Amino acid sequence: MFLDKHFLKRCLFLDIETVSEFASYDLLPSVKKKLWDVKASQIQKSLHLNETIGDISGLYAEKAGIFSEFSKVVCISMGFLSFDGEYPSKIRIKSLAGDDERRILEDFSRVLINHYNDPENSRICGHNIKEFDIPFLCRRMVINQVPFPPVLDISGKKPWQTSHIMDTMDMWRFGDYKNYTSLDLLAGTLDIISPKDDIDGSMVGSIYWNDEDLDRIVSYCQKDVVTVMQVMMRYAGLPIIDESHIDYINLKE
């Protein structure tokens, strides 16, 4: 196998869920509305859409949640592996979630500082975290004036200086950068039953703003973390961990 199982020690597995800052385009402050109009125009051109007000409003509901300038973090789910001797034996999953983004980010930063402060001896793992989760968290920390933990301070660093960031999608590429591989596809390819429920990422904003069902979002986010951890078990040539050895601890604020 191409991953030494010892790399799974002192590794924090994570996934985040994000939603638009406001429930709808109409509720945006005037300054943010103008800024979104510019962003929406860029999106429309890239997707070859007609430029209409309806499209601008619809694009906010559909796309704002993936742009850190127009969205917020509502859930960070974290996974921890317990070892029995030299082999992983148990998964613990817990989440920081709620409406107060700054508190979520401060609590997450505290976890990293207290337990994963040394990039030489700690690792962070997730799917596509190099291109989405970590940049998103860093930008939102700047916006909320939350200090960076050293393990996240990767801006401008050389590849060999960020080896503590393990990205399951990047690892699967093996140098091929032409395609995006979803976590579901990767899990299915590795014969891992992804513990998904009846939602996907495109539905998170509506579930948050319309259904007000944060618990459902937390559950969805946690299941992604479990899947990432099982993928890494496969990468290390180890058997996946049975569901009976997975503990879920919700820490919704």
Alpha-carbon torsion (238, 240, 246, 250), positive or negative: positive
| DSSP code per residue over 92-125 | EEEEEESS-HHHHHHHHHHHHHHHS--TTT-EEE
pLDDT digits (tens, 9 = 90+) for 107-144: 999 999 999 988 888 999 999 999 999 999 999 999 99
Q: Quote the CATH superfamily of domain 5-20+75-252.
A: Ribonuclease H-like superfamily/Ribonuclease H (3.30.420.10)
Pairwise CA distance, residues 172 & 128, whole Å: 11
Weakly modelled stretches of the chain, pLDDT under 50: 252-253
Contact 157, 151 (CB under 8 A): no
Position 44 scores a pLDDT of 84
Sheet holding 11-20, edge to edge: 165-167, 123-126, 11-20, 71-84, 87-97, 246-252
Residue 143's SS3 state is: helix
Rounded Cα distance, 16 and 141, in Å: 14
- Contacts for 230 with CB less than 8 Å, ≥ 6 apart: 187, 192, 240, 241
Q: What is the pLDDT of residue 50?
A: 63
Torsion angle of the four alpha carbons 202, 75, 10, 177, in this order, in degrees rounded to the nearest 10: 20
Domain with CATH 3.30.420.10 in the chain: 5-20+75-252
Q: What is the pTM of this model?
A: 0.93
Q: What residues have CB less than 8 Å from 58, skipping those under 6 apart?
A: none
